[in-house]
Amino acid sequence: MRNHLMGFTLLLASALLAFSAPAQGDPLPSWNDGDAKTAIIEFVERVTDEGSPDFVPVYERIATFDNDGTLWSEQPLYFQVIFALDQVKAKAADHPEWATTEPFKSAIAGDMEGLMKTGMAGLAKVMGASHTDVTADEFAASVNNWLDTARHPTTGKRYDEMVFQPMLELLEYLRESGFKTFIVSGGGIDFMRVFAERVYGIPPEQVVGSSIDARFEMRDGVPTIIKEGKGLFVDDKAGKPAGIYRHIGRRPLFAGGNSDGDLQMVQYTTMPRGPEDTTPRFGLFVHHTDADREFAYDTPSHIGEFKEAAKLAPENGWLVVDMKNDWKLVYPD
Amino acid sequence: MRNHLMGFTLLLASALLAFSAPAQGDPLPSWNDGDAKTAIIEFVERVTDEGSPDFVPVYERIATFDNDGTLWSEQPLYFQVIFALDQVKAKAADHPEWATTEPFKSAIAGDMEGLMKTGMAGLAKVMGASHTDVTADEFAASVNNWLDTARHPTTGKRYDEMVFQPMLELLEYLRESGFKTFIVSGGGIDFMRVFAERVYGIPPEQVVGSSIDARFEMRDGVPTIIKEGKGLFVDDKAGKPAGIYRHIGRRPLFAGGNSDGDLQMVQYTTMPRGPEDTTPRFGLFVHHTDADREFAYDTPSHIGEFKEAAKLAPENGWLVVDMKNDWKLVYPD
């Protein structure tokens, strides 16, 4: 009994120690030692060391990250699209007309080829069925419910378990180093805000994404926000710097993405505004090279194409992370 | 020598103490003792005391404040409109056609009556001349330059000195109590962000306001944001809860305004969503009652009308601050 108790106490103590000081010694334990890890740590030390000529005050330490393909997986489809398809299936019984009308017919049948044939207009209708003309609270509840019940088709994991452990460590390392971390993603802002705080430690007000107009009204005496179907803002490509300007209002010091959709955000972050602009800034791209542990794709690809940004990375000094070789593990254990 | 040194040391020590504990004893020294001050302090203590049944965790402590008329003055015109008029005057030499074209003719002549006759369309043109088709950096520089040189017509003060000392103390008191403070204003987001951090201690990403679309482009190889004239979002009345949802993504615990333009924000913040929603929340309206030290107006008024919100305040338990009687001083000394 006493031995058991002592063993348990030691176990508890070591667990507590591990919890309270995860980064002591190595702030990025899931990254293999090598150039990628070294480049990140050297950059963070340069801008946070008060004795360094490159020191940057805390209030300027803004870090922005794409979500799909950068912080979590995005295959075989953006997870938000899978959510939208699942919602259409769940609502099909209430919409008998969908059985014979595209794009819903293909969506319900799981016929991706048929769905793709309906084009962007079809996809917008599928997204609209779950994302528009719904109150903010109803929408958040539907995302929460989906995360709790849906499983990824090939890994069998919860979707919010398919986040990248090395990137979680990077977010935490940056925050411990005085950075304010933001998501800047082509994904829907209201979708991501449901899990960003719990999964990434990023509060709702630090999530920037694609959005549609929200309308306020008093509904039976209760203040209510309704997600309308109008005013789509696409927070992708040139929309990302525009979204950063609108939501954050200042230039990041660190930006990370994985595809050409993140090119302009990384350009906006890192490229000097003139000869006197010498503050070092960090651009990072996650390269999906790991078919065994995750997925391998870059170009051509129907999702997350990484072509133009890959070409421009060397001359701009952007770090390209080789998922297969730079990461000890992909998903949290 | 020794006495001098000791005196200096004591002075230094007391200065340091004063600096490190400004709120010890009285967190709101510019507020007269009375019901308003007591209501604020009792609320903050209730939601921050871990032993209280009304305790609210830090991450839910969101406070939103209107700017014009709530944190700084707004008479004889919104200061941003005065800025726009001054810019039109400064640019008149480059636009000879303005001498004979409305609304510019009236704007340049300082003929407010003539300008008002051109209606909202005329005012939009005056605003547009300084706020659109300009890079983000150029716009920020023009606001900074104006703040440095312009003086208020009746007080002779810099416009950014016409902020309310009691409200600066309230912002600081809330932040010291774990609140994250935001501006949610009908004023332009890019205009306010220029001075919000310096004047209010509120960083750009915590400023929500009216906005127009921003566009990103590489201009001669330099990443550039251009403020376009399209996509106006008016962060006023029902636009305020919509702006809060879009930018912050959660319901405030404390909201302060001064006019009917803030009514929906305060409703959204304070009104229960159902019988189980018992968290106490705070709504505050600054009532401009002080013609000697500031301005006295409520209804009817061409700016900052306070009528509907004043009527609804008692039944909703919103605090109406009587500027004349509740505040020891208005502007910082």
Checking if the pLDDT of A2 tops 80, the result is: no
pLDDT at A5: 43
Quick one: B229 and B301 in the same domain? yes
Chain A residues near residue B273 by CB distance under 8 angstroms = 222-223
Tokens (6 digits) for B225: 């944001």
Same domain flag for A203 and A112: no
Provide the mean pLDDT of chain B: 93
Q: B206 and A207: CB-CB below 8 Å? A: no
Domain annotation covers residue B137: yes
Q: Does A275 touch chain B (CB under 8 A)?
A: no
Two tokens, residue B95: 């636009």
- The torsion angles phi and psi of A192, rounded to 5 degrees, stand at -70, -35
State how far residue B204 is from chain A, nearest Cα, in angstroms: 5
**Which pLDDT does position B22 carry in this prediction?**
43
Whether the Cβ atoms of residue B183 and residue B209 lie closer than 8 Å to each other? yes
**Judgement on whether residues B72 and B98 belong to the same structural domain of the protein:** no
Q: What are phi and psi of A296, to 5 degrees?
A: -120, 120
Tokens of A275: 């000869």
Q: Tell me, yes or no, if B49 comes closer than 8 A to chain A by beta carbon.
A: no
Q: How far is it between the farthest Cα atoms of chain B?
A: 74
A5 part of a folded domain: no
Per-residue pLDDT at B8: 45
Q: What is the pLDDT of residue A24?
A: 61
Number of A to B CB contacts under 8 A, please give it.
104
Residue A196 — pLDDT band, cuts 50, 70, 90?
A: very high
CA B139 – CA B134 distance, rounded (Å): 6
Burial of B312 (0-12, 13-18, 19+ CB in 10 A): middle
pLDDT in tens, A50-62: 999 999 999 999 9
CA angle B15, B19, B20 (to 5 degrees): 120
- Reply yes or no on whether the pLDDT at B138 is more than 60: yes
For residue B121, what are the domain limits? 79-149
Q: What is the ipTM of this complex?
A: 0.91
Cβ A303 vs Cβ A74: under 8 Å: yes
> Which one of A132, A165, A196 terminates a domain?
A132
**Collapsed DSSP state (helix, strand, coil) of residue B263:** helix
Whether A319 and A212 map to the same domain: the answer is yes
Cα distances from A247 to residues A5, B217, B250, B290, in angstroms, run 52, 18, 15, 36
Looking at residues A131-143, what average pLDDT do you find? 95
Taking the CA of residue B242 and the nearest CA in chain A, the distance in Å comes to 5
Question: Band of the pLDDT at B87, cuts 50, 70, 90?
Answer: very high
Asked if residue B258 and residue B200 are part of one domain, the reply reads yes
Closest Cα in chain B, distance from residue A50 (Å): 22
How high is the pLDDT of residue B25?
86
**B182 and B120 housed in the same domain:** no
Same domain, B194 and B263: yes
In a domain, A19, yes or no: no
Mean pLDDT within B173-178:
98
- Per-residue pLDDT at B333: 86
Number of domain units in chain A: 2
* A74 three-state secondary structure: coil
Q: Do A225 and B203 touch (CB under 8 A)?
A: no
**What angle separates helix B35-48 from helix B165-176, to the nearest 10 degrees?**
20
pLDDT tier, A333 (very low <50, low <70, confident <90, very high otherwise)? confident
Residue A173 placed within a domain: yes
User: Which of the residues B64, B211, B246 would you substitute to probe the A interface, choosing the one with the greatest number of A C-beta atoms within 10 Å?
Assistant: B246
Residue B12: which pLDDT band, with cuts at 50, 70 and 90? very low
B204 and B142 share one domain: no
Q: Rounded mean pLDDT of chain A? A: 92
Give a yes or no: residue A48 inside a domain.
yes
What is the mean pLDDT of the segment spanning B38-49? 98
Distance from CA of B267 to the nearest CA of A (A): 7
Domain co-membership, B62 together with B196: yes
